[in-house]
Structures are given as C-alpha cells and as structure tokens.
Structure 1
C-alpha cells in the first residue's frame, strides 16, 4: 500500500509532506537504527558534514544499531579505511564512504567552477592550479604530511610562488597554494590523514582506494542526483542547487537532461512539481512519525531536507536556523519536525546537555528525551546530565 494519489492536472503521483518526511526519516536511519556499519550509513546520508568531527561521529553513530559508539566511526575512518574525511559538497569537510570516491570526485570536479574570489596578486591561474594539484598528489603519494611539510614539498615541485604567504586567514597569512585545498580534494589528489598531535595531516586518497579513477563528469553527476533524490526526494533543482551551493540555472539544466534520459520522474509535491529517482515513486503508508531525536551540528538530514519551512515550522524557523542556514544549531526533533535546540559541553567524564524545547513536552516526549540524552552519552562515551532550559550558546559559524 502507498500514500500516492494521482494529480488530476498533471497525471503525476501526488506526494504529501508527511509521506515524504516519513520516508526520508526511515531511509536516514532516524526512525529506527540501521545496520550495515558506518560506511553504509554515511552513504545513505549522502555524506556526513565533518566541520566539527565530533558532530559527524554523533550523526553517524546515532543511526547505527544500539551499543555502537563514536569508536565505530573512528575505526571506519582511521583503521579499516571504509570512510574518508575529505572536502565534499559546498567545499566543506565531510565523511564519505571510501568506495564512493570515484563518484564523488567525478561529480565534484565537474561542478561549475564559478568566480575565484581571491584578489589580484593572490589568485591562481588555471595552469598554476593544475601544477599545485599535481604536486599535492605526488607529495602525498607515500606519506601523511602536515600543512608545513606539504608546503615545502609543493614549493619544491612548482616554485616559490606557490608558498608565498599572501592569503588572509585567521589574523595570519597562508601560503598561496592553500586556496586550492578543496579543489585538490575534489579532484582526488588529497584527503585528511590522522592528526599528528594537534596538527592536521593530509594524505592521498589513492592510498585508501588504490587505482581509483574519478568517474566521467556526466555519469558521476547523474549518480549523485540519484543518491540525493533517493535520500531526500521529492526535490526540485532549486533544492539540489542549494545543497551543493551551485547556480540554480545549472541545476535546472542538469535535471532537465536527466528527465530526458529517463533518470528521474516528476511528482506533485504539496502542489509543486518535484522529482524523484526513476522508479522510486512509491511512498509506503508508514505510521505517523513519532518520537524524539537529538541531531548534532550540521546533521545531513536538517541540511538537505526541503522545504525548510516545513521541517523548521513556526517558531523553529527563527530559533533553530542561523540566519536561514541549517546546521548551525543542534536541533531537537519531535515527531519528525524541528521543535527546539540543544547544546552539550564536556568536562572530564561529564557531558552537560541543555535542551531548549519550543513548547511544553508531554510525559512521553520527556521520557523520549531522557533516552536520547542517555544514547548521546553512550555514543560520546561520557556520563550525561540533562538540563531543560534556555540554550545561551549562539549559532556555529
């Protein structure tokens, strides 16, 4: 049984917000934990934002079977190599399944480059970019290097211009080559290695997946749209463009070409045209979404699910979005909608969790919140203490 009806005007299946949201939550492992391990879960999320690595560890682990902790995610990242930490959508740091690197590097390196915002005298040419990316790949082929070590190796392979400290960054100057760090990641020449003390290291992802080659751009982009729509559909080109921080007109052209090739199908989503992956038009008649979840900073579900006015309904739109940007606050999810914000601070074994609901919690919701706080403490390997009250910490930058 499905919840689909046919729209009389277009002949397309009609999908409600409730049905779409329920399917997304189920596919995300947010209705019930999912098996398959950290790499499978991260793939289902279409990447885990890892600007705050502890938040990414929590995002992935809370979708795993009970008893799993952040150590499971760390083992996948640093021990068995099934996850990789690299530059993903929007040029931001993500955890991605290593096996998916051919698709991700093929798609990300095929995105429109846009205008280089660096000023004259700092900006690198296309030829200089190619030189730096090649130098990075070669320098990291056999070892993990810190930024300073990598700078020396790049300069030795390209020339002093690549190491000139001309980039304004955090009240200091970075070497010129660093403006292309995310580009090197997108082209498959660089990813993060394990920290060396407090120092970040980089490595070559071919050490994790020997011999991989980025997929051709057209094929890779089609595959990325498939995965996005499977996880977050129905969606529009505008939604996909926002997720990737790409021009809307480019996304419209991409969606048009995929529809012409039979890769997508149109549905009526709350009165508007939207798309799903071809053959994925069934929305099972799932029971109404019930329960409480605590989602950390930059959780993939809150960033990618659209329209935000439905997920962040009413007061949540003002309180839980940082200037309209999703992910800047950890959120309290009640019955599938954002219903508050929260924050955690660690001191030794103690994890102090403050939750600010936007309404009065029922007894069942408070019991669910207690369970979520306990699960958060289990994942983060500490002893949680819950306070229900105002979160005074502002949005993450």
Structure 2
C-alpha cells in the first residue's frame, strides 16, 4: 500500500475556502446552495445564519434568505448537529433526519425524575408527529395538545430554562426534530410556532440510518476534510468510539491523507479541486459560522493569539471572526440603530492598505445583506462572547 498523500495546511485552507464559497462567492449560488456547502447554517441567532448564507452568494440579502425559508421553503429551520437550530436544505431533510436520528445519545433513562425515559420519549415524539401533521402550533398550544394526547406528565413544568421552567416534553424536542416529527413554523407575532415537515415536503420520510450516516460523513468530509473520526465526533456531538467505528465501517469509501504529519481522512472518490492558488482574501464571518465551528485543527485555524481572542473556553463560534487568508486573524461586532450599522473590527495584526480595501468591501457587502448603512471602525471589540 502506498503512503498517504501529504497535504499542506495552505492547500487545506484553499480547498475549504473554495468549497464554502468563500474564496469567490458564486454568482449563481442560491441560499439553499450556500447552506448545503456548510452542512447547514447555524441559526440559533437567525441574523447570523442570514449573514453566513448571504456572504456565500453574490447578491443575496437577509430578505432573500427569509424568503427561502418561509416562502420558497427550500430551507427548513430545525435542529441539526449538536441539537442546535440550523437551516437545512429541504431536499436533504430525509437524509439529515435519517442520519441524526441514528446517532446514539444515551440521554433517556429513568435516573432523572425531571427527564424522560426511552418509552416516554418515544410517546412524546409520536404525539408531536400526530398533533403537528396538519397544524402550526405555539409552544403553549403544543404543550396543551400533548397533555391531551399523551398525558399530563408530558406537560409538567420540570425543565429549567432561561428564567422560566419548560414542560417535560422539551427534553425530547431535538430528538423529535431529528426524527422528522417536527420543525419550526413561521413566527406568530413574537411567538415561535412548530409544524410537521411533511406539510411542506409531501411524502417526507426519514432515510434509512446506515445509508444516511454514510451520506453525512461524505458531506462533512467534503466541507471540512481532511478530518479525523474524533473531529467528526466533536462536530456532531457523538460518542468518539461510535464515530471511529462508523469511519471504519465505510472502508474504501474513505482514504487517508496526512496534514502537518497527522493522518486524517477524505472521500476516496474526491478528485479534489483543481490546482488552487494559495488561500487569500479578507472575510467577515458571523457568530457560529460553519467554517470556523467545523474547521479543525483548532491550533491551525485559530493560530497563536487568535485562539485566546476568538475562542471561548476553546469553543469556536462565540465571536464573529475576521478571516485573513483562510485563518482567523481577529474578531468583529455589529450594532444596528435604525438603518445605521456600526461595524467594529479588531484585527490581531495591522492590515495592509490592500487588506483594508478588502475589509471595506466586506463591510459594504455586510450592509447590503442587512439592508442598512454600514460604518466601519477599526479598534477593540468590547462585547464579550455570545452565550
């Protein structure tokens, strides 16, 4: 057997930038295309998802992204990897649900009196699927419907939330979304609603777990590879031993390469991009952008002072980041007042005139996306990490 091919970190950055549509935004890319290349856009902060997606297109704005979710329904708002809110391509939802519902969680036991056991979780998920099959309900409405259908125990207020106490069924919300029983519906005033994805995707049914997991590994490696099984486990919040077994089960579908002396994996049928120039360019990535959250090794993506400034307890995504030549080189923040958007950028090293010109272009593009008038300030970002 021949030795694994060796890839430089520069080559890895160039590949990821190109595949994330960050090297040159694709003039033909739609919001759904941008979400797909990231393996979903993190949408716990919806405005961040709008920026993540629109920055990867030539002309999309926040309104374009919202239309993709609520009018075209080409994007579905649901729980994705790590149980966090994501925008996922609607066409891929059967595969996402098949894969995510096959990831072992070990969460449901009888040990926690405020939680759910496996049987109760299954009842809650089945109840949610039935109640939301033809409805859009707020959390309170869904709680009442589940109490009627499943039993009052599902509505017991036992789960500590943000200065409130949520009903017991909330413990199974991410599992219900992973199994395709529910997704987010359009807002009703200030209230969130939930609905069944089958209302928007006729014939919707989660794919088989084994095939879907293979698909998810390939999607992940295309976007974030070369990567190791532990990298995949961290990205997915899955047991490391299970992830290692999954990678092994894929056999010849994966091939080893080395990056900086470390063996990692890429898709065996991946021809790789054509010869790419070195990673270049200045980019502004918002909270929880996939390139920063999914990218590893951390010590290369967040080199030197970037790790201390742009990571929170070693976790990526809590700060919007300034990307220079494919690696994190600072942080930034934006604050809106009417149509004015104050953008503060804190580079970790001085930027050349050419870099400053690129940064100004990024700030103007940010203003287009947010449909406002941006004003750039270079200086310290005093806002702490997003909780």
Normalising to structure 1: TM-score of the pair?
0.95
In structure 2, the residue matched to 1:171 is 163
In structure 1, the residue matched to 2:46 is 53
Give CA-to-partner distance per residue, 1:315-359, whole Å, 9 cap, x none: 001000111100000000111111000000111111111100001
In structure 2, the residue matched to 1:80 is 72
In structure 1, distance between residues paired with 2:293 and 2:336: 25
In structure 2, the residue matched to 1:5 is none
Report the CA distance shift for 1:292/1:118 in structure 2 as closer, same or farther (over 3 A): farther
In structure 2, distance between residues paired with 1:81 and 1:366: 38
Matched, 1:340 2:340: no
Shift of residue 249, structure 1, vs aligned partner? 1.1
In structure 2, distance between residues paired with 1:350 and 1:55: 18
In structure 2, distance between residues paired with 1:117 and 1:329: 35
In structure 2, distance between residues paired with 1:277 and 1:215: 21
Contact 1:13 1:281 in 2 (8 A): no
In structure 2, distance between residues paired with 1:220 and 1:181: 21
In structure 1, the residue matched to 2:106 is 114
Give CA-to-partner distance per residue, 1:50-71, whole Å, 9 cap, x none: 0100000000001012x32111
In structure 2, distance between residues paired with 1:54 and 1:72: 12
Give CA-to-partner distance per residue, 1:144-192, whole Å, 9 cap, x none: 1100000111111011111111111123211111111101000000100
Matched, 1:190 2:182: yes
In structure 2, the residue matched to 1:241 is 233
In structure 1, distance between residues paired with 2:78 and 2:174: 8
Matched, 1:381 2:371: yes
Matched position secondary structure for 2:113? coil
Report the CA distance shift for 1:25/1:297 in structure 2 as closer, same or farther (over 3 A): same
Contact 2:333 2:343 in 1 (8 A): yes
**Size of the alignment, in residue pairs?**
386
In structure 2, the residue matched to 1:38 is 31
Contact 2:105 2:238 in 1 (8 A): no
Structure 2 counterparts to residues 120-135 of structure 1, below 5 A: 120-135=112-127
In structure 2, distance between residues paired with 1:246 and 1:182: 14
Matched, 1:317 2:310: no
Structure 2 counterparts to residues 1-397 of structure 1, below 5 A: 11-34=3-26, 35-65=28-58, 67-116=59-108, 120-259=112-251, 262-397=252-387
Greater mean alpha carbon deviation, residues 186-195 or residues 285-294? 285-294
Shift of residue 285, structure 1, vs aligned partner? 2.5
Contact 2:109 2:116 in 1 (8 A): no
Matched position secondary structure for 1:384? strand
4+ runs of 1 displaced by more than 4 Å? 116-119
Contact 1:258 1:264 in 2 (8 A): yes
Matched position secondary structure for 1:166? strand
Shift of residue 296, structure 1, vs aligned partner? 0.2
Unaligned runs of 5+ in 1: 1-8
Contact 1:19 1:283 in 2 (8 A): no
In structure 2, distance between residues paired with 1:184 and 1:191: 8
Matched position secondary structure for 1:20? helix
Unaligned runs of 5+ in 2: none
In structure 2, distance between residues paired with 1:74 and 1:172: 29
In structure 2, distance between residues paired with 1:126 and 1:246: 18
Contact 2:127 2:150 in 1 (8 A): yes
Give CA-to-partner distance per residue, 1:79-113, whole Å, 9 cap, x none: 01000000000000000001111100000000012
Matched position secondary structure for 2:250? helix
Give CA-to-partner distance per residue, 1:95-140, whole Å, 9 cap, x none: 0001111100000000012234896321212111111111111111
In structure 1, distance between residues paired with 2:371 and 2:158: 42
In structure 1, distance between residues paired with 2:322 and 2:275: 25
In structure 2, distance between residues paired with 1:45 and 1:276: 16
Normalising to structure 2: TM-score of the pair?
0.97
In structure 2, distance between residues paired with 1:285 and 1:263: 23
